[in-house]
Amino acid sequence: MPRLTVFNQISVDGYFTDARNDIGWTHQPDDDEEFRQFVEGNASGSGTLLFGRKTYEMMASFWPTPGAAAQFPVVAAGMNSRPKVVFSRTLPVAGWNNTRLVADGLVEEVRRMKREGDQDLTILGSGSVVAQLAEAGPIDEYQMLVFPLALGAGRTMFDGIKTRLSLTLTRSRGFRNGRMFLVYEPKA
């Protein structure tokens, strides 16, 4: 059965967007070669990417551009080639290549994709999608890349959950640039 993973870049105080809903702070210049290789390795994975509308619109406005290809060639190639699903009731059309739009039934559709699919699924950003699925239970793993930066305000990927979510740390990795990669699984 395919696994459902969440991958988010978060500040040390737990936000994945700042107070203006911006993630520009995640694209800081970096000379950490080990970290660059880690990012490229993650981007060259396979499987289907899942988004909410806001994250989808942000990603679709950047990754297909010549600037993205020049600045992050390996990541851009992976983002543009992988199949994508965007969950939105308000988006009229999904124009980024390899994208399918799903208007209703988020939890049911994700459960169907896990049950019937043959590819792993990864949610990028998409806090409202993460929060809904965290409570429903189909998420197998939470991957968080923690930046040594405090934003003071913003949105967490768990905004809106109504029940406590207990997690177990299964892996961690530190980088010279101060970033930490943390992997958690829901406690059974």
State the total domains in the chain.
Answer: 1
DSSP 125: S
Q: Which residues of the chain have pLDDT under 70?
A: 43-44
* DSSP H/E element including 112: helix 106-116
Residue-range definition of the domain harbouring residue 104: 4-23+31-186
> The domain that contains 41 carries what CATH number?
3.40.430.10
Would you state the pLDDT for residue 71? 86
0.85 exceeded by pTM: yes
Cα torsion 163, 123, 4, 82 to 10°: value is: 170
Q: What is the Cα–Cα distance from 145 to 56, expressed in whole angstroms?
A: 19
